[in-house]
Every structure is written in structure tokens, then in C-alpha cells.
Amino acid sequence: MSVRPKAPSVGTKPPFWRDRAKRALTFQVLLIAAVVLFLLYIVGNTQDNLAARGITTGFGFLTNTAGFGIVQSLIDYSSQSTYGRTFVVGLLNTLLVSALGILAATLIGFVVGIARLSPNWLIARLASGYIEIFRNIPLLLQIFFWYFAVLRAMPSPRDSLTLGEVAFLNVRGLFLPEPQFLSGFGLIPLALGIAVVASIVLLIWNKRRHEATGKRLPAGWISLGLVVGLPLLVLVITGVPVTWDVPELRGFNFRGGFTVIPEFLALWLALSIYTASFIAEIVRSGIQAIPHGQTEAAQALSLPQNLVLRLVVVPQALRVIIPPLTSQYLNLIKNSSLATAIGYPDLVSVFAGTTLNQTGQAIEVIAMTMAVYLTISLLVSMFMNWFNARVALVER
Amino acid sequence: MNEQATQAGNAAPMVEMRGVNKWYGDFHVLRDIDLEVRRGERIVICGPSGSGKSTLIRCINHLEEHQAGEIVVGGVPLTQDVKRIEQVRRSVGMVFQHFNLFPHLTVLENCCLAQTWVQKKPRREAERLAMQYLERVKIAEQARKYPGQLSGGQQQRVAIARSLCLHPEVMLFDEPTSALDPEMIKEVLDVMVELAEEGMTMLCVTHEMGFAKTVADRVIFMDQGQIIEENAPEPFFNNPQSERTQLFLSQILGH
Amino acid sequence: MTIQHKMIEARPAPKSTVGPLAWLRANLFSGPVNTVFTLLGLYLLYLLLVPTIEWAFIDADWIGTTRDDCSREGACWVFVKARLGQFIYGLYPRDEIWRVNLTFGVFAVLIAWLMIPRLPFKRWVAAATLLVFPIFAFFLLYGGSFGLPLVQTHRWGGLMLTLVLAVVGMVGALPIGIVLALGRRSQMPIVKSFCVVFIEFWRGVPLITVLFMASVMLPLFMPTGVSVDRLIRAFIGITLFQSAYMAEVIRGGLQAIPRGQEEAAAALGMSYWLRMGLIVLPQALKMMIPGIVNTFISLFKDTTLVMIIGLFDLLGIVQAALSDSRWLGFSLEGYVFAAFMFWIFCFSMSRYSQYLERKLHTGHKR
């Protein structure tokens, strides 16, 4: 007869290093302690270092006069403005180039991504050539290419490249005519507003009518006509109350009109072209992710080709495309910080660059800069969570 | 809808295929197919995999394009003309092996999609009809769910209801039970039998020989892209003529 | 009743559907719209390729040593040729270049060993690459012992520095990334939230601010009087930044392993670290490799940012060479050369990762 091993009595507690709950607790307490000690060490060192360099901490410097100019600003700014205003100018410039970059990258990306799936062999090859070239070259190199090799190599203002003597491209940037609105122009935004409201009403009415009777008008085309046509009509009736301030060569540079600085152009081009190559891949794989059976089933229900796309393929492809698309948008916003390498006055360039150098407030400046990007990231990921929860396919 | 089974024999053919040939690249998948399906006739097509049976029925609603020969469906010849293709597809319903329900739409929306957008029916009417058919396939209580929430058998019944909503004159079934677990096959076959009893013209690619025996008017055996044998179920199963039919039947009925 | 006894032989498809002409018709000229697109595409190709080829090859100058040898009609590759040593090795002493070559030669052999599926001892080679090679590379490149003369890091540059930065960032980020990924899946709330905050922080900020932080804030964190080498600062910034991205790739791989695997291991009485180390990680690692290669590609491209904090990687040194007064006006040649180098590396790596993905994919289906 074998000896039965002694069963552990129910009441005995294991030593604490074998108790799961206690072990977890100990581990976490140790982690917190380590982090706190590390932070204390850093803070202590930092205080010593700052004291040795005679730098006072705090955000007081934001109200001091900056004393430097910025080449592009969306709000009033002069060298008499404060560092706080510098921060806002930089932030707005970052948002400007990001917004326009997202717009252009999305357009190029969708066109190239769809072209990549074209039945036309040549078009598909061209599209994949675009993707493979631009996404495998560092963005900074592309920015340098556009800035130093293309825009800085433009002719001087006297020999500008010109488009119909109204727009000029030279080493100083792109000079465009600027509209000057005369009295009576106010009617045009009004007409546009009316057209937009009418289109929305039409679209809603059309949807209701479709649900009620099954009949529908080509409301999309009608709305497009309204939104474009009505303001144009008003413009013609009121006798075109706009004059254009055309840039003119005076001495060594152009005066008047609207100037796009070369730094902006280079950054915007590089960001759009680079990000578009990633968006194109996302669009391609999003469309390919829809099983062919979906298209066939829709065709078997005798849906015509445009409705197969609109009602079955696109809604499903979009939910595959949108999450990685937003993270590309986020990348574009973060990448816009490369502006500092060519001197476009974005947040990093004017604030984490010039302001930091002038004031020496490294910790405050870097913290504020990072906080801006973190806030944007947080907002975008909140949107993504909301979106995913809303459109996620319902499955068991 | 043709609720009554038309007397077989003297009605106009519903589907006519004459000398149909198809190639995938250089591979000759359909070879000189001649087939006439009368209104109300129920046909089961069987054969080894790769024999071209799926391709054959997919040609009928032009999911595949044939390269030689002629296909006429309900008096409409299939050509490159998009209008005619859509016209044919409206009168032909199809059920797929993998259901192919639209996962982003509810069961009800799946059934209403073509009604509201192709037939341009008011939504309420479309929903009423959809519910009626969902009732018939015994799944009405799931109408507000999404396909991903249903079992395979339920999804396939929804797929049948979705096709029926367009009042098709012919139903094509492309291995409708092959992707199902055994206990779900019966619920789908029951619906198909019921449909057959109501007189629907049906072409089924299936290996369910029980279904073929009880329901089919004709059984067609295909191999290597051609129709080898074509007969009423009784003689087809009891007295197959061709060697290859015998071999095939012994393989699938053998155990 | 029909019975077919005669077999129909396979016939060739009609002429109109196979062969090169049919291919052309189906793929390029299948309708009026398609034909227009094809012609537009051909025109675009003509516009792009003809001047590029003329500039880069036909009108280009290859021979010579100074700028006077360039006719200025096409590309002046003489510039690149004259600077090639610098572009590859930076200011590393000419007599010591064999050390760089040896380091990267050994590295290439190790990587090739890992990439070729048939070779044995993968595990040991991987361990050597991650643990032994970095130490070996440090002593060889930096020197100062074993009779090798010391080479200060400010002399490192060019393609060599780019590779060093990318490899160090990668090797450093891998273990941190694994720990962060496991932490993020942990049941312990404090560990989990710590890892989430850490990962999301680095993923939320641009690399450039991280590098700024490493270059201006890191010296403040150190005890007074201790200074950190500029290259080490870049290493720290890049490694921390990269580890967050690595953690997310690893987490993705871990999620792909069915829960049943870990449960089965637990049922056999394995502890947490055994379950992870023997069951989950080995399986997951295989699935992560494409993702890891992809993050490596983006790290490789991102190393160009170090020039903003004053290090001379491949792009940095090309940029510096462009402002040499003897060689003004050759920026296009410089950028094209740098772009070509980066492109070769990134493109071949992305092809490799696509190949792995395909292999994984089919492996799962069967």
C-alpha cells in the first residue's frame, strides 16, 4: 500500500511569495518605488544643473518679448510680440501645413490606390512605381530635394516662371493673384449658403422619397450643380464684383498679390507625396480585403456596377481603410515637424527651436511642444475608438 | 410568380445553352455544353470537383463570360449588352456556397437592398415582402441581426430569402450546403425542397444525392467540362450508363 | 436522356482570347476609356523617363576628379565619386576602415544566416546577433583596447553611422518592447497603466522632439559635471522611441496566438515566464517578423533626423558636402545618390517582409 502524500490543509496560507495576489501587489509597489526614485533622482539633478546655469523655471518667459520675426503668420505678429504669441503662430502654421497636406495626400493617395487596381496593366504598373519609389525614400531627403534641388534652384524674380502673367514661381516662392472683394460681393457667399441649404434639403427629401416610393432623382448631381452654379450665376448677375491684386515685379522682388513661401511649398509637396504613397497602399489593400463573393452576390441581385460599388464594396472597404488612414494623418501631422530642417516656421521650428535657444527654458518648451502633439494624438485616437465602436462589423 | 408547376414538356424553355464553350486562359473548362431547362423543371448537377459545374451555372447569370456558343435565359440572349445582363440577373436568383451576405447590413437590409435600389420599391413595401420571405425560411425573428451573428444554416436561409425577394423565375444553387455543419444541412435542404414543391425552376450544383432523388426531374453528371450523362433520377442512380458516372456514384454513395 | 460516350478533347481557346495580342487588348486597349488611359500613361512615362535617362546616363560625366571635369549638361557623378569615401565612412580614419568593413561583413553574414530558411542553428545565431555582436561591434568600431586605436564618435558618419544608429535602435528596442508588450497585457493594473502611458507617450510625439529632448534635456537630468556623448544621446532617444512601436508590433503578434495555447501550458503547470518564453513568444515571434522588419524600415528612414541635432548620417554628410565651396551646385546629384542608397535598402527589406507575410499566410491556410 502506498503512502498518501499529506494534503495541504485548507486553512494554511502559502508564504507571501507564492500567493498570487500578494506577489502582484509587491511587484507593483516595487515598480512604483523604482519609478518615483528615478524621477526624484532626475528632478534633483535637474534642479542642481539649472541652479548652476542660473535658469529659473516657470512659464513666466511666455509673456516676454520674443524679438524675432517669423516669415509666415496667420495672425498678427511682429518682433515685438511675446513668446506666447510665437507659440500660437507656430501651432497655427503646423495646423495649416498639416490640413493642406492631409487634403492633398488623401486625393493623391486615393487616385493612386485605385489606379493600382486598374485592369489597365500600364496604369497599375505606374501606380505601383509611384508607391515603391516614394515610400522607400526618407521624408527628410524628399523635403531637401524639393527645397534645395528644386525650389532653391528656381530662377531669380526677374526670370520667373510664369503662368499667363498672373502667377509667378521663382526662388522667393510662388506669387499668386489675391482677390479683392468689392461691395456687393457679400451676395455670393449668401448664394453659396442658400445653395448648400437647398442641397441638404434636396438630399433629405430625396432619401425620404426613395424610402417611401422607391423613386429617386440623381440628387448628387443636382446638388453639385446648385452649389457650383448658383454662386456663379450670382457672380455674373452682379457683374463680377472682384478685382485681382496681381503680383508685379518691382525692383528685385514682387509686390502685391499673395505669396506662398518656398519653405511651405517644399514641406507641403514632400509631406503630401510621401504620405500619399502610404495612403495608396491602404486604399488598395482595403478594397482588396472585400471578398470577391460580395461583388458577385451583389451582381447576382442584378445591382448595376455603380451601385455594387456604392452600396456593397465602398461601405465595407471604408471601415477597413479609415483606421489606418487616420494613423497616417497622425503621422503626417507629426512629420510636419521636419519643417525645422528647412526653416518653415512650424511649432517645433519657432518654439522648440528659436524660442528654446533664446530663453534656455528647455523643460518648459519641450513639454509644451510634446503636449501639443500628445493632445492631437489623443483626440485622433478618441475619434478612432468612437469610429470603430460605431462601424465595427457585428459578429458573434 | 409562377406558383403552379407548369406542365413539363410543352412550355417554352427557361434556360437554353447551345454549344457553350469557355476557357480560363488556355484551360478548356466548358466543352460544347447543350442544355435546355424547361419552366418549372428541377435539375441537379453533380460531378467531381473541377468538372466545370459551378462555372456552368455561373455562366447563366453572366458571373462568368462564355466565349463561344449561345445562352438564352427567359427568351433574352446573353451578350455583352449590360442592359440585357441586368435584365437576366433580375430574373435569376443565386445562392452561393459561402452565403455572401453583406456583413455591414442587417438581415432585413440585405433582403431589401436590391428591392429598393433596383426595383425601386418603397422601403415599407420592400420590408413587408422581405419579412414574408424571411417568415417562409423560418428566420423572421432574426431580421434585425447582422449576418455575423447567425449560424451558417441561418445565413444560407437568409441568402435564399434575399434572392426570392426579387421574384426570380430561376434559382441557381452553387453547392449551397457544402460549407455547412452536418446538423444545419437539413434546415437548408428543407427550404429548398419546399421551394421545389412550389414549382420554382431550379438548377442545383450539389452532392446531396438524397435531395436529387426526391426532388430532381433530371440529374446531370459532368466531368472534365462536358455533360457526360443526363437522365431522370431513378435510372440515373439505379442504372448509370457511362463508366465514369458509375465510378463517381460508387465513390460518393459507396460508404 | 442523354449519354455522352465520346470524350470531347480539350481544344485551344479561340485566338482572340490568348497570346500577346489578346493580352494587349485585354490589359491595355479593352475599350475607348482604357485606350486613352494607356496612351496618357505612355506619354507620362515618356515625359519622366527620357529626360531622367538623358540626365543620369547619356549626358552624365563619370570620369575625373574636379568639377572642371564636368560638362554640366547632365549629371556630374564625379562629385559623388570624389566624396564616396566620406559618404560611406564619414570621417573615420582611412587606415582603420577595415574595422568598419569587418563589422558590417560579420553583420551581413549573421543576417543572411537568419534570412536563409534552410540553415541550421537559427536560435544560436539569433542570440549571437542580439547579444554578442553588439559588444564585438563596439570594441571593433570604437577601439581603445586590444591594441586598436580609439576612434572618437564625432568621426563616425555617412552610411556607416546610419546603419549603426538603425541597428543599435533596433537591438535596444527589442527587449524593452517585449517587456512593454507583456506589461500591457498584464492583469496588474499599475503595471498595465504604466506600460500604456509609456507606449502612448512615445508614439504620440514626433521623433524630432524626442531627439531635441535627448540633446537638450538629457544633460540636465545627469548629475552635474557628467556629460553624455552626443551619439549616446541619440541612441537613447531613438531606442526609447522605437521600443514603443516595437511593443505594439509584439502585442499584435501575441494577440494572434489563440488563448488555448496559454491555457494548455498553464494546465501543464507552467509558470507565467515559462508559458511566455516556451509557448507563446516562440510562436508569436514568427508572426511578428514582418512587422518588425517594417518598423526597422521606418527606423532606418528616420535615422536621417539625427542631422538636425548635429550628427552626420548619410543624408547629413551629403548635405554637408553640398556646401563645400569647391563643389557648389551639385545638390541634385547628391540627393539622387543618397535617395538611391536609402531606396535600395528599404525596398529590398520591404520585399523580404512581403515574402515572409505571404509565406505565413499560406502556412496558415494549409
Q: Is residue A197 part of a domain?
A: no
Give the minimum alpha-carbon distance from C1 to chain A in angstroms, rounded to a whole number: 31
- What's the whole-number average pLDDT of chain B? 89
Tracing cell 535617362 back to the chain, one arrives at: C53
ipTM for the predicted complex = 0.88
pLDDT of residue A101: 96
Q: Give me A198's grid cell.
A: 437647398
Confidence at A17, pLDDT banded by 50, 70, 90: low
pLDDT value for C364: 43
* CA C212/CA C206 separation, integer angstroms: 10
Q: Could you tell me the pLDDT band of residue C71, with boundaries at 50, 70 and 90?
A: confident
HEC secondary structure over chain B:
CCCCCCCCCCCCEEEEEEEEEEEECCEEEEEEEEEEEECCCEEEEECCCCCCHHHHHHHHCCCCCCCEEEEEECCEECCCCHHHHHHHHHHEEEECCCCCCCCCCCHHHHHHHHHHHCCCCCHHHHHHHHHHHHHHCCCHHHCCCCHHHCCHHHHHHHHHHHHHCCCCCEEEEECCCCCCCHHHHHHHHHHHHHHHHCCCEEEEECCCHHHHHHHCCEEEEEECCEEEEEECHHHHHHCCCCHHHHHHHHHHHCC
Q: Which chain A residues are within 8 Å of B94, Cβ to Cβ?
A: 297, 300
Does residue B229 register a pLDDT over 90?
yes
When pLDDT is cut at 50, 70 and 90, the band that residue A213 belongs to is: confident
Q: How far apart are CA B78 and CA A142, in angstroms?
A: 53
Residue of B30, B37, B228, B246 for testing the chain C interface, max C β-carbons within 10 Å: B228
Question: Nearest chain B Cα to A296, which residue?
Answer: B63
A51 close contact with C: CB closer than 8 A: no
Taking a C-beta distance cutoff of 8 angstroms, is the pair B106, B143 a contact?
A: yes
Q: Which of B21, B25, B227 sits opposite C18 (nearest CB)?
A: B25
Instruction: Of B218, B195, B185, B175, give the one whose Cα is nearest residue B51.
Output: B175
Question: Do A377 and C204 lie within an 8 Å CB cutoff?
Answer: yes
Confidence grade of residue B11 (pLDDT, cut at 50, 70, 90): low
- Cα distances (Å, whole numbers) of residue A173 to A150, A260, A261, A265, B199: 11, 6, 5, 8, 76
- DSSP letter at A393? P
Q: What is the pLDDT of residues A68-126, one digit of tens each?
A: 888 888 888 888 888 989 999 999 999 999 999 999 999 999 999 999 998 889 999 99
Q: Where is mean pLDDT largest: A126-135, A255-264, A297-306, C223-232? A: A126-135
Residue C29 predicted with pLDDT over 60: yes
Q: How many CB atoms lie within 10 A of CB A348?
A: 28
pLDDT of residue A13: 65
Pairing mode of beta strands B92-95, A248-250: unpaired
Cβ–Cβ gap B122/A212 under 8 Å: yes
Say if residue B3's pLDDT is above 70.
Answer: no
Q: Which of A355, A325, A335, A261 is nearest to A63 (CA)?
A: A355
Question: pLDDT-based confidence at B2, cuts 50/70/90?
Answer: very low
Please, are residues C350 and C93 in contact by the beta-carbon 8 Å criterion?
no
Q: What pLDDT does residue B26 have?
A: 85
Residue C163 sits at φ, ψ, to 5 deg, of -65, -40
Is residue A300 a part of any domain in this protein? Answer: yes
A74: number of Cβ within 10 Å:
12
Of A97-101, A254-258, B64-68, C286-290, highest mean pLDDT: A97-101
Q: How confident is the model at residue A252 (pLDDT cuts 50, 70, 90)?
A: confident
| CB C297 within 8 Å of CB C242 | no
Is residue B1's pLDDT more than 60? no
C61: number of Cβ within 10 Å: 18
Contact across the interface for C194 and A137, Cβ inside 8 Å: no
Rounded to whole angstroms, how far apart are CA atoms C14 and C30?
A: 17
> Closest Cα to residue C342, out of A276, A136, B208?
A136
Closest CA to B242 of C103, C3, C155: C3
Q: By C-alpha distance, which of B202, B112, B101 is closest to B153? A: B101
> Mean pLDDT, to the nearest integer, of C229-242?
91
CB contact under 8 A, C4 and B68: no
Window from A349-353, C139-143, C263-267 with minimum mean pLDDT:
C263-267
Whole-number average pLDDT of chain C: 85
The number of C-beta contacts closer than 8 angstroms across A and C is 154
pLDDT at A330: 93
DSSP 8-state assignment for residue C228: -
Report the pLDDT value the prediction gives residue A73, as an integer from 0 to 100: 82
C-alpha to C-alpha distance for C19 and C38, rounded to whole angstroms = 19
Identity at A143, one-letter amino acid code:
I
Per-residue cell: A341: 530642417
Residue B32: which of B46, B18, B44 has the closest Cα?
B18
Residue located via cell numbers 437539413: B186
- Per-residue confidence (pLDDT) for residue C198, from 0 to 100: 93
Tell me, rounded to whole angstroms, the distance of Cα B66 from its chain centroid.
Answer: 18
- Identify the pLDDT of residue C220: 84
Question: What does the angle CA A189 – CA A195 – CA A197 come to, to the nearest 5 degrees?
Answer: 105
- Strands A173-176 and A167-170, by their bridges, are antiparallel
Nearest residue of chain C to residue A338 (CA atoms): C208
The partner residue sitting opposite A215, judged by closest CB among B90, B120, B163, is B120
Cell of C232: 549616446
CATH code (residue A300)? 1.10.3720.10
Which single residue is written with the C-alpha cell 480539350? C10
For C237-254, give one letter per residue: b (16+ CB within 10 A) or e.
Answer: bbbbbbbbbbbbbbbebb
Find out whether A276 and A108 touch, Cβ atoms under 8 Å.
yes
Q: What is the pLDDT of residue B111?
A: 92
**Closest to B134 (Cα-Cα) out of B156, B168, B108:** B108
- Calculate mean pLDDT across residues B84-112: 90
Greater confidence (C219 vs A15) lies with C219
- Indicate the pLDDT class of residue B10, thresholds 50, 70 and 90: very low
User: B128: how many CB neighbours lie within 10 A of its CB?
Assistant: 12
Contact criterion met (CB below 8 Å) for A362 and A351: no
Q: Residue holding cell 561591434?
A: C137
Domain ranges of chain C: 80-360
Per the CB < 8 A criterion, the answer to whether C165 and C303 are in contact is yes
Q: Hey, is A328 helix, strand or coil?
A: helix
User: What is the structure's pLDDT at A393?
Assistant: 66
What does the alpha-carbon distance between residue B71 and residue B85 come to, in Å, rounded to a whole number?
11
B231 vs A157, which has greater pLDDT? Answer: B231
CATH top class, domain C80-360: mainly alpha
**Residue to test with chain A: of B101, B123, B178, most A Cβ within 10 A:** B123
**B224 or B3, greater pLDDT:** B224
Share of chain B above pLDDT 90, in %: 67
Determine the Cα–Cα distance for residues A159 and B105; give it in Å rounded to an integer. 60
Q: How many CB pairs under 8 A join A and B?
A: 99
Give me the pLDDT at residue B5, please: 41
Listed in sequence order, the residues at least 6 apart from B132 whose beta carbon sits closer than 8 Å to its beta carbon are: none
CA distance C69 to chain A (A): 21
Contact at 8 Å (CB) between A229 and A188?
no
Q: Which residues of A touch C297 (CB under 8 A)?
A: 136
Number of C-beta neighbours around residue A15 at 10 A: 7
Taking the C-alpha atoms of residue C258 and residue C281, their distance in angstroms, rounded to an integer, is 12
Q: Mean pLDDT over all residues of chain A? A: 86
The Cα-based distances of A220 to A198, A319, A329 in angstroms read 12, 23, 28
The nearest CA of chain A is from the CA of C51 a distance in Å of 15
Query: CA-to-CA distance for A108 and B115, rounded, in angstroms?
Result: 36
> B63 and A214: CB-CB below 8 Å?
no
Residue B223: per-residue pLDDT: 92
In which domain, by residue range, is A387 found? 83-133+262-391
Optimal mutation site among A26, A141, A376, interface C, most CBs of chain C within 10 A: A141
Read off the DSSP letter of residue A214: S
Report in angstroms the alpha-carbon separations of B229 from B41, B219, C3: 17, 8, 4
Cβ-in-10-Å burial (0-12, 13-18, 19+) of C123 comes to: exposed
Residue A61 clears pLDDT 60, i.e. is over it? yes
For chain C, give the longest Cα–Cα distance: 101
With vertex at residue A57, the alpha carbon angle to CA A52 and CA A58, rounded to the nearest 5 degrees, is 170
Which long-range contacts does A223-230 make (Cβ < 8 Å, 24+ apart)? A223/A198, A223/A199, A226/A195, A226/A198, A226/A199, A226/A202, A227/A192, A227/A195, A227/A196, A227/A199, A229/A195, A230/A191, A230/A192, A230/A194, A230/A195
Q: How much is the pLDDT for B9?
A: 43
Q: Tally the domains of chain A.
A: 1
Whether residue A394 has pLDDT greater than 70: no
Q: Does C220 touch chain A (CB under 8 A)?
A: yes
Q: Which of A62-66, A115-119, C101-105 has the lowest mean pLDDT?
A: A62-66
Contact call for A393 and B163, based on CB within 8 A: no
Among A71-75, A222-226, B98-102, C246-250, the minimum mean pLDDT is found in: A71-75
Query: What backbone phi and psi angles, to 5 degrees, belong to A45?
Result: -60, -45
Q: Which residues of A touch C301 (CB under 8 A)?
A: 136-139
Which of B99-108, B109-118, C263-272, C299-308 is predicted least confidently?
C263-272
Q: Is the pLDDT of residue A279 over 70?
A: yes
> Would you say residue B6 has pLDDT above 50?
no
Mean pLDDT of the region C91-109:
87
Q: Which of C289, C286, C285, C262 is nearest to C274 (CA)?
A: C262
pLDDT at C285: 81
CB contact under 8 A, A396 and B162: no
The answer to whether the CB of A331 falls within 8 A of the CB of A380 is no
pLDDT of A302 strictly over 50: yes
DSSP A5: P
Identify the pLDDT of residue C357.
82
pLDDT digits (tens, 9 = 90+) for C157-176: 889 999 999 999 988 999 99
All three cell numbers of A172: 522667393
